[in-house]
Amino acid sequence: MGEMKKVVNLSKKELEEANDLINQVESYDHTYCRPYLSNQYNYFPDMPSFILYYNEKQLVGLLTLYADEDTAGIVDITINVLPDYRRHKIGTKLFTEGLKILKKYNFQNYDFMSEQRFLDNNPDFLKNIGLQIEPAESEYQMSYKNDFINVKRNEELEVRKLKQPDVEQLLPLYSKVFATNTQETRTYLQESLNEINTKSFVLLLKKEIIGYCSIDVSDTYYIFGLFIAEKYQNGGLGTYFIKWVMKILLESDPKAFVIGVDESNKIAHHLYLKVGFKDQTKVVYLSK
C-alpha cells in the first residue's frame, strides 16, 4: 500500500528524491522536459504544489502543479512515475488528488504536460487518462550544448543583471507582452530578484530598458520570460540580447541552455536554430 504526501515546498531531501526519480524516468523514456520543482511563482503561496507517492519509503511517483496565474488561468500539471511502478494506477491516484487541490483553490482550467515521444511509445496513455492533445499549444524544447558563443559588442547596447530599481520601469513592458496585470508582474519580477536559482537580465538601448529575460540555473540554464519591447522587435536585438546573456553565463559556469518555443512561432524557432540551438523534444499539452 502506497503513501501519498502533499507539500507546498519540497525539502532538500524531497528535492533530491524528486530529481533522482525524474532522472530515472527520462533515461527510460528518452524524454527531456523537466518539471519546475519550486512553488515560487505560484499564485497561492500556501497551495500544495507537489504530491509525492512513496512505496516503502521509496519515492516512486511525483505530481507537480504550476499555477502562476489567478484562478481564471491555466495550471500546468506533470506526473512522473518510475517505470517499474507503472500500470498500478499510481498516476491516476496522483492525478485525482491533484484535481482535488485545484478544486479547493477554485482553479477551473488545467493542462497536462507531456512529450510527443512518450505518447508515441505509450499509445494507451491518452485513453486511460481521459485527455486529448491541444495541437495549438505544442512547443519545441531546444538546447544549446556548446561552451562558447560568438557575439560582437554593440556600443549602444548594454546587457546587465536586473536591479531593484528596474522593476517599476519594466512593469508596463512586461505586462503588455505577457498580458498580465501590474500586481502579478510586480510580484513575478520581485520573485525573480529574490530567487537564488534565478538570474534575470535586462537589455538597455541608450540607458533605456527594452528587453528582459530570466534564467533558471538550478540544473541547466533554462531560459524563460524573454522579450524585446514591441517597437524594437525584428531588428536583431533579440538575437544580440540572448547571445550576450549566454556569453556571460558560459564564462562563469559552462552548462547547457534550454528554451521552449511555441511550435507555431516559426520566426522564433528559426532564430534559435541560427543561434545554435537544436530541437531536443516536442512538448505537448493535454486537456479535458
Pairs from 213-218 (Cβ < 8 Å, separation ≥ 24)? 213/241, 213/242, 213/245, 215/245, 215/249, 216/36, 217/249, 217/253, 217/255, 218/37, 218/38
pTM: 0.85
Please, is 18 exposed, middle or buried when counting C-beta atoms within 10 Å of its C-beta (0-12, 13-18, 19+)? buried
Q: Could you report the per-residue pLDDT of 234-288, keeping only the tens digit for each? A: 889 999 999 999 999 999 999 999 999 999 988 889 889 989 999 999 999 998 8
DSSP per-residue codes, 130-147:
T-EE-GGG-EEEEEE--S
Instruction: Check: CB of residue 269 under 8 Å from CB of residue 277.
Output: no
- Chain mean position to CA 274: 22
The confidence score (pLDDT) of residue 137 equals 85
The confidence score (pLDDT) of residue 280 equals 95
Does the domain made of 146-255 have the CATH classification 1.10.630.10? no
Same fold, 3-137 and 146-255: yes
The confidence score (pLDDT) of residue 1 equals 62
The confidence score (pLDDT) of residue 128 equals 79
The confidence score (pLDDT) of residue 213 equals 95
List the chain domain ranges. Answer: 3-137, 146-255
The confidence score (pLDDT) of residue 130 equals 83
Assign domain 3-137 to a CATH class: alpha beta
Mean pLDDT, consecutive 10-residue stretches, the chain (288 aa), reads: 92 96 96 92 95 96 95 95 93 94 96 94 84 88 94 94 94 86 86 90 95 93 92 90 96 95 90 93 92
